[in-house]
Structure 1
Amino acid sequence: MSHPPPGLVQVRTLADHPLAGSGAAALRMVATGAVTAGRFGLVEYRLAPHSPGAAPHYHQTFSESFYVLSGELTLYADRRWQPHRPGDFALASERGVHGFRNDSDEPVSFLILFTPGIAREEFFAETAELRRSGRTLSPEERTAFYARHDQVMVEE
């Protein structure tokens, strides 16, 4: 029996890249597009009770899938907010309007899979830095920020 060359299996432990963030939201880039050769990216996201997540938006060049691990995640799809529980899965294809938040009294933990594996970690890092600094973007800066990260915000 022959074996493929070494290095075709990569393991990333929680100790290698712990959850980042505090307060209402924490996330961990489980696998960046750089790790997966651009095939996909995987994020573990946690929201505290009654926390905002992402207002309704869509992406033109990548899809996002959501898988609820624990708690109750409220997802925006089909022009309405609906609760989803552990084991529930949702796919927001390119140009599919979606959003998420935690409306419940318990924390929620979920995975976000995006394909292809663009450098989405840059969006999360910049968003976290804005929260930490307390800086508010001007309308022009906000438009440029979202355009840079392929995030088109939509009115509910």
Structure 2
Amino acid sequence: MDGVVIRSAGEGPATWAMESLFERLASGEETGGTLGVSLITQPPGVATPLHVHTHEAEAFYLLDGTMTYQAGEVRHELSAGSFIYLPSGIPHAFRVTGAIPVRFLGLTVPGGLMALYDEVGAPARERRLPGRDATPAEEEIRRWNEVAPRYGLRVVGPPIPADSAIDSS
């Protein structure tokens, strides 16, 4: 069946990057560039800097855990069952909150962004958070700075502070 992608649990490539586990469900390459989907697990405290994607829209559907998500100037508290869609060009950032890891489906349209994590991270030897097996932060940041522009990703501000209040609307 040309173009059909089917994955059972634990199949497909997995990458450790950003202290996190990215499990590929469908890559842009597999979907003719139209869609990328990954199951992402991140530990409490992980935060992205405020950034913009210029090539794709992004959507998250949270399965477990909580996060503070900033889209534009507004911050939202997301929990299991929450969904967020971000058109390209919207500055955004998030911080994983609470005491348990967050798990979510990450979707990009068009596909292709997940290859960035493969470039900056390392193949996951197991389906778990990397812990001590993580790439050193300094090395990963250096790789991000080198490759992110090729993926249309621009950092435009700092991460959400750990003690930041939520002004959800």
Number of residue pairs aligned between Structure 1 and Structure 2:
145
What are the Cα deviations for residues 31-75 of structure 1, in whole angstroms up to 9, with x where unaligned?
Answer: 1011111111011111112222x2111111211011111111221
> 5 Å matches for 1:2-151?
6-7=1-2, 9-17=4-12, 19-21=14-16, 24-52=19-47, 54-118=48-112, 120-129=113-122, 132=135, 134-135=138-139, 137=142, 142=145, 144-151=146-153
Give the TM-score taking structure 2 as reference length.
Answer: 0.74
In the alignment, the residues of structure 2 paired with residue 36 and residue 23 of structure 1 have an alpha-carbon distance, to the nearest angstrom, of 25
Deviation (angstroms), 1:30: 1.0
- Contact 1:47–1:101, Cα closer than 8 Å, also in 2: no
Tell me: CA distance 1:22–1:154, structure 2 relative to 1, closer, same or farther (3 Å): closer
**Unaligned 5+ runs, structure 1:** 1-5
What are the Cα deviations for residues 79-101 of structure 1, in whole angstroms up to 9, with x where unaligned?
Answer: 24432011111111010111222
- Contact 1:66–1:89, Cα closer than 8 Å, also in 2: yes
Equivalent position amino acid for 1:70 in 2: D
Tell me: CA distance 1:25–1:63, structure 2 relative to 1, closer, same or farther (3 Å): same
Matched position secondary structure for 1:137: helix
Tell me: CA distance 1:69–1:124, structure 2 relative to 1, closer, same or farther (3 Å): same
Give the TM-score taking structure 1 as reference length.
Answer: 0.79
Equivalent pairs: percent with the same residue?
Answer: 23
Deviation (angstroms), 1:137: 2.2
- Worse-superposed segment, 7-16 or 42-51: 7-16
Max Rg structure: 1
RMSD: 2.5
Matched position secondary structure for 1:123: helix
In the alignment, the residues of structure 1 paired with residue 148 and residue 5 of structure 2 have an alpha-carbon distance, to the nearest angstrom, of 32
